[in-house]
């Protein structure tokens, strides 16, 4: 399944496999990051993740803890969004529509996909959408 559609895509099977592998690696990394964050949220000590510096015995320690907590929520949101982007990019690879703009159905430039492998729209449509 899907293989028949590959010829409609801007990518050959080998290039798509490479992209898919990269996306899967990225997905694994994000899942791991989310797990690490969840662990932080439950206030378990985990010194393996040193994304945040250790705070001393300062009076404003609580405030720092709160801002660290909301930073985690923001990070979690960003990670979840990236995960969603990756999932849908993987689905598009399966369907043979990867690299095709979802708005105008034209191929997305290879340059754009290199910079943003999860892009689902071409630069022109993206720019138009942002202008609205
Ligand atoms: Zn487009």
Q: pLDDT digits over 16-57, tens only? A: 999 999 999 999 999 999 999 888 777 554 444 445 555 556
Q: Which of 86, 93, 98 is nearest to 33 (CA)?
A: 86
Cα 77 to ligand 1 centre (Å): 26
The residue ranges of every structural domain in the chain are 3-97
Ligand 1 mean position, distance from CA 47 (Å): 45
Cα–Cα distance between 99 and 25 in angstroms, integer? 19
CB 5 within 8 A of CB 97: yes
Average pLDDT, the chain: 83
pLDDT for residue 8 is more than 90: no
Residue 115 Cα, ligand 1 centroid: separation in angstroms? 17
- Sign of the dihedral defined by the CA atoms of residues 118, 93, 16, 29, in that order: positive
Segment 64-93 mean pLDDT = 92
* 40 token code pair: 């932080």
Please determine, for residue 83, whether its predicted confidence score (pLDDT) is greater than 80.
yes
Q: Measured in angstroms, how far is the CA atom of residue 2 from the centroid of ligand 1?
A: 22
Report the separation in Å between the CA atom of 121 and the middle of ligand 1, taken as the mean of its atom positions.
5
* Higher local confidence (pLDDT), 44 or 14: 14
Dihedral angle over CA of 93, 99, 103, 109, nearest 10:
170
* Backbone φ/ψ region at 54: left (φ over 0), alpha (ψ -120 to 50), beta: beta
Q: Given this model, what pLDDT does residue 43 score?
A: 59
What's the pLDDT score for residue 58? 62
How far is the centre of ligand 1, averaged over its atoms, from the C-alpha of 53 (Å)? Answer: 43
The span from the CA of 14 to the CA of 129, in Å, is 32
Which whole number is the average pLDDT over 99-126?
94
Average pLDDT on 4-26 reads 79
**128: CA distance to ligand 1 center in Å?**
9
| pTM of the predicted model as reported, rounded to 2 decimal places | 0.71
């Amino acid at each position: 399944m899907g293989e028949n559609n590959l010829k409609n895509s801007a990518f050959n099977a080998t290039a798509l496999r490479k992209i898919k592998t990269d996306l899967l690696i990225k997905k694994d990394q994000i899942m791991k990051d989310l797990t690490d964050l969840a662990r932080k949220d439950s206030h378990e000590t985990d010194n393996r993740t040193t994304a945040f510096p250790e705070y001393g015995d300062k009076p404003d320690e609580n405030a720092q803890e709160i801002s660290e907590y909301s930073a985690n929520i923001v990070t979690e949101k960003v990670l979840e969004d990236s995960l969603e982007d990756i999932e849908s990019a993987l689905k598009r690879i399966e369907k043979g529509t990867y690299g095709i703009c979802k708005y105008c159905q034209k191929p997305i430039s290879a340059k754009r996909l290199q910079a943003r492998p999860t892009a689902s729209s071409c630069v022109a449509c993206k720019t138009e959408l942002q202008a609205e």
